[in-house]
Structure 1
Amino acid sequence: MLGPFVNGASVVIGSLTGASLGNRISENLRTKMPLVFGISSMGLGIAMIVKVKYLPAVILALLVGTMIGELMHLETGIQKVAAKTKGFIEKFAKPADASLTQDQFLEKFVAILVLFCASGTGIFGAMNEGMTGDTTLLMVKSFLDLFTAAIFATALGYTVATLAIPQFVIQASLFLLATKILPLTTPAMVADFSACGGLIMVATGFRIAGIKPFSVANMLPALFLAMPISALWLRFFVR
């Protein structure tokens, strides 16, 4: 299990580097790079969406999953945990950008949490390594996360490094469960799962780029519904 460790290390290294440099990184770079990260997330999302097999099933999963997330106030819960983590970290180190408001911090923190922990590249990379031993996808993601963490840590500080923990837990779990999950799936189910994740990645890209503040964390339950709904759609609606 190499990929999850490398990906987690890239987040920690990038975060520590960015937080330590802080304002010494040019304002132009700190302003422009999140736009690149945003469009990269959208591009990855679009590449995943085009794999869709049963679009109605994907849309249904996204709608129902988002409603569940909204009713659970999932994003609010994540923000509360993020705020507590920020407070704990700041007991030992000041944030790189002290002018950042609490709302601005939480807005950016939730967006990169989804990017690091719930991206299709990470999910499929971990599952693929578990099945085949191929670490390619997670290595590619590690390079992207290294620079993303560094840039965002210039504003959010050392708190960004804590995202390596949920990221590793998710990827390691998928790695270990891959041999049990994938045999139960069909290519159509995997394609629709990918498409659902792609839609969330596009929404994440809009949020990171500051175009539209989608509540991306509330959309995450859709990922758990995408495969079952895809299977049910094939059984009852496809002739």
Structure 2
Amino acid sequence: MPIATLINALAIILGTLVGVLLRRNFPDRIRSIVYQGIGLSVLVIGLDMALKFDNIIFVVFAMLLGGITGELLQLEKRMSDLGNWFKARIRSKDAGFTDGFVTASLIFCIGSMAILGAIDEGIRGDRTILLTKSILDGFISIPLASTYGIGVMLSALPIIIYQGSITIAASQSQAFFTPVIITQITSVGGILIMGIGITLLDFKKINVTNLLPSIGYVVLFTVLF
């Protein structure tokens, strides 16, 4: 049972509620500097993760093939459509609803803490990493929700599906998650997180969602070769 993932989702929901309540009391200049701080932090975290690769060739080819696959599958559009569907369902008039859902989902789901924490809970029953991540995600969701609105809360759903699936898979196939595979996943995840940081800082819009298949490709290359 992925208990820590459920706690993580709850922390995001609570953080979002706080952010929405503080939205009107958040001056634009404060929101801007907080957002810049998050963007820079995400960029540095991503860089630190990206440099932990075991084989850079696999990482490069995984990013290339992952990007092509994501574009062909139109993952960015599908995720936006999902956000718009949720928005219509709850009849939200929040202009940033979909952007909040997509951005928060990427920030909270992609990263070494999400992967390693879920694996740790599945293999050893140790929830320390994910509980720490829950605290961080809860605080990060506050400024995100103050900017994008209630859509940030829906990122709790991908968290439950993504981290929960990894936890359950790890508990059933402990031998598969070798240190090399975890390292390669961490490296690709770091590059994707850097893309999020670049987007948050308004340097350039990176279609990180379309690059998500890269994680699957790097695992495949590592296992085969």
2:70 aligned residue: 69
Quote how far apart the aligned CAs of 1:155 are: 2.7
- Equivalent residues of 1:111, 1:216 under 8 A apart: no
Looking at CA atoms only, which structure, 1 or 2, has the larger radius of gyration?
Answer: 1
1:86 aligned residue: 87
User: 1:160-171 to 2 correspondence within 5 Å?
Assistant: 160-171=152-163
The 2-side partners of 1:107 and 1:46 are apart by 24
Quote how far apart the aligned CAs of 1:94 are: 4.8
Residues 17-73 of structure 1 show CA distances to partners (whole Å, capped at 9, x for unaligned) of 111221112322211112222222222212222221100001111110111000011
- Equivalent residues of 2:58, 2:218 under 8 A apart: yes
The 1-side partners of 2:208 and 2:222 are apart by 21
- Equivalent residues of 2:123, 2:170 under 8 A apart: yes
Quote how far apart the aligned CAs of 1:179 are: 2.6
User: 1:151-162 to 2 correspondence within 5 Å?
Assistant: 151-162=143-154
Residues 165-185 of structure 1 show CA distances to partners (whole Å, capped at 9, x for unaligned) of 111111111111113344124
- Secondary structure, counterpart of 2:182 in structure 1: helix
Q: Which moves more between the two structures, 125-134 or 38-47?
A: 38-47
Q: Is the counterpart of residue 145 in structure 1 residue 137 in structure 2?
A: yes
Q: Structure 1 unaligned runs (5+)?
A: 234-239
- Secondary structure, counterpart of 2:175 in structure 1: helix
Please report the TM-score for the alignment, with normalisation by the length of structure 1: 0.86
Q: Which moves more between the two structures, 20-29 or 48-57?
A: 20-29
Quote how far apart the aligned CAs of 1:190 are: 1.9
Kindly tell me the number of residue pairs found equivalent between the two proteins. Answer: 224
Residues 186-234 of structure 1 show CA distances to partners (whole Å, capped at 9, x for unaligned) of 322221111111111111111122222100000101111111112333x
Task: Give the letter aligned to residue 35 of structure 1.
Answer: Q
Quote how far apart the aligned CAs of 1:107 are: 4.4
The 1-side partners of 2:163 and 2:202 are apart by 27
Percent identical among aligned pairs is: 27
Task: Give the letter aligned to residue 20 of structure 2.
Answer: A
1:60 aligned residue: 61
1:237 aligned residue: none
**Superposition CA RMSD, Å:** 1.8
- Secondary structure, counterpart of 1:183 in structure 2: coil
Q: Is the counterpart of residue 187 in structure 1 residue 179 in structure 2?
A: yes
Q: Structure 2 unaligned runs (5+)?
A: none
1:3 aligned residue: 4
